[in-house]
Every structure is written in C-alpha cells, then in structure tokens.
A and B are shown apart, each in its own frame.
Chain A
Amino acid sequence: MKTFKGRVIAPGEISATALVSHGGLNTLASFQKALQFGDKKATCGDQNNKDIYGKQMAGKALCLPQTIGSTTGGLVLYCACSMGRQPACMLFSQPIDSLAGAGVILADVWLEGEHTKMPVIDSLGEEFLNYVQDGMTITIKPEGIVEVE
C-alpha cells in the first residue's frame, strides 16, 4: 500500500476501484454518450483515450492528470453528478484545470443530496499516476490523504 497527499477540492471519504487515465480526460468526449443515452455505467466514449475507452466510469475512482477539451466539460460533470452517474471520486495528479474545477464547484454549490456528491482531490503528484493501476483499491481519508493498494 502507498499513501499520497493532495489538496481537497470537494470533501468526502470513500473507497472505490481505480480507473486510470494517463492522458488528459476529455470530459465531453468521455461522458456525452452516457448522458444522452441513459448509460448508468457512464461508459467512456472517448476513442482517443486508449486507457479508459469503453470502460465504466460511474462509481470508479477516476485517476487522471487533468481534464481537456470542450468548455462544456464543467457542465457535463455537473450533469453527471446531478444524475448520479459520476465517478466515485476524481483524483488529479496535477492541479485541477478550470473546466473540471468549474464542474466540481457547480455541483457542490447548486446540487443537493448524497447521490450528487463526488469527492475530488488534486495535486497528488506524478508518482501517484505512475503507481496507481486499474483495479487497485483507492481509499480517501480526511485532509487529502489517498491510500492506494
């Protein structure tokens, strides 16, 4: 087991299975089909993301460097949270980008109910993304501590 520490963007303690995107996560390309066509598993639809294309994102501990792509990204995350199709948590190796940051804050300020929650930690470092692999168990502890085993 290895422990990492980052910055808490949205609080919460949770344990989930890791899903790792080593490249930037294109939020619109990844989520749009899932949101449009009622895919509760939120299967990743981004053909350019060889790591997670075709894999379930909902309920997973999504590990990534940052998000990229369309500026609809934030509202797409907001909608995913509102519909309960969001990852269990999002863990960024780098500082969070403006699109993901917007989505996380919009969800935190404007949505109500436990099903909309998504803990988010950023700045976990490059080593985090090098270490974590699909299927590992991720546990988020208080104060930005992330355990990977």
Chain B
Amino acid sequence: MIEIKNVSKKFENTEALKGVSLKVEKGEFFGLLGPNGAGKTTLMNIIVGYLKPDEGKVFIDGTEMKSDDVSLREKIGYVPQDIGLYQELTAMQNLKIFGSFYNHTKKELNERIEQALELVQLNDRRKDVVKEFSGGMKRRLNIAASLLHDPEIILCDEPTVGVDPQSRNAIFEMLQKLNADGKTLIYTTHYMEEAERLCNRMAIIDYGKIIAGGTLSELIDLLHTRETLKIRKTKETEALLGEIKKLGVFSEHDFYFEIRPNENYDVYSKLFADLETIGLDSKFVEISRASLEDVFLYLTGRSLRD
C-alpha cells in the first residue's frame, strides 16, 4: 500500500536520508524507530508530500506521491510531532477549520467532528480554548484534527512526546482501535517500549539509513541471546568482575553490570548453574528478556537515547 523506493534527502551539508526503501502493507501498524535526528520525521514528511525527495519515489496505492500534487493527501492523516493547532481557538473551532479542507457536507463534517471528539475523549471540552488544555489533551486533539476526513493511512510522528502516562495510554488505545478498524498506521518513536507495544512490524533507522526491519521477534532474533543479565554493583560482584566478563558481552552502568550471555539459555537452570560455578549469588542477578533497545545497541553500539 505504501512503498518507499530508494529515497534520499539532503539538507545543506546533512544527509537526512540515504537510499531508504520500505514497504508497508494495508492494515499494518508499522513502527519507525530511531534516535532523535535519525531521519524519521524527514521520511514522514516525504511520505505525505510535504518534502520532495532528492532521489527516489514514494507510492501510495501504486500512485506516486508528488509534493506539488496534493490530491493523494486526501488518503493520509498526518499527526505532526508539534502541536499544530490554533491555540486561541476552541477545540470545536479548530476541528471545524481543519475539517473544512476536505469534501464534507456540513452535516458530514459535524458527524466526523463528533466521532473524532469521542475517540479522543474530549467531548466535554469542545468549547474550551486549546491554550487552556493540558499537554495530553492537546496531543489528543492534535490526533483528532488529523482524523476528520477518515483517512486510510495515519502517519503519527512521535505523538506522545511530553505526555503523561495516563494520556499516553489513552493515545495508545485510540491508535490500536483505529488499527483494529482497518487503518494503516506508521508510527515513529524513539521509545522502544512504545514500538514493542503497538507495532506488528517495524524498521530501525539510524543516520538516515534503515539498519534493520521485521517483526519484534525477527528483530530480537538478530541478537544471539534473548536474555540480558543485570548484576547489581556490590563489593562481592566487583570482586568477581573478571569471571563475570567471561559470561558474555559486558557493559558497565551506574548501578549495575550488564551481560548479554554468549549462550542462549532456553533453560534458566543452566544459567543459574553457570553463575554458581563462578561463585555469583543469584540474589544479585536480574534476568530480563532482550528488547528493541538491546537490538539497537547491538546494531549501532549506541543506546537509543544517546
């Protein structure tokens, strides 16, 4: 449904995208993961036709997206990273203005506004001016404003930035409902837990290049182990540091050592036996499943939030 073919984009001396190719199928909840400045927003802007790629093409349902032909944008709802609302107007006024740019009758538009307000749970705040809203409410209205024309494709560019956990959950539920209703979503984030929770499939982007892609399971399979050991820093564990390092890929953090074991432990008893062998008490050890964060670290040698 959305096909990105070898897209490159340069801003002055910065290469924002380097030959990016992706395919997102209809009804997918696709995640685009990467640290800040990786090129996620640039790619989204090219998909919606806001930016023109220097090279490559984007196809929506087989039709090439061109920045000077805005008709394809009817199919897309773009939730921008910045709150793109008129702060001095009410929620209702904002929705009426943004909804007016699509081919709705007055009645249809009013119905769409009602549905959107219900979806983002802001029915009772429709007459309030946006600048009086909390950050989470603004984010939800920001999403509502992008859904008024019932788009087939929804592009969400980090829609939860600066949002409290409660509002974040509400946004997640809303997006999952939209996906369940058959909408295709592309969701950018640098929070791996968000991608893990929401997306069926994802791509990891870094320095303008797609470095990996697939389902969560496929990405974690890139690691040779699915577990990570966190060993609390104490006098006892520090004394065993030489032995600990032999267990796998070692990294040191403020309060703990992290080991990605050399061996894939399908049975944890084997792991504990190995720990006992080197004299490490299991009370200092926490085992966690490998995450996308680990995948990113594995692929780039950097943490996502560096």
Co-complex (A, B): no
Residues on A lying within 8 angstroms of B by beta carbon are: none
Residues on B lying within 8 angstroms of A by beta carbon are: none
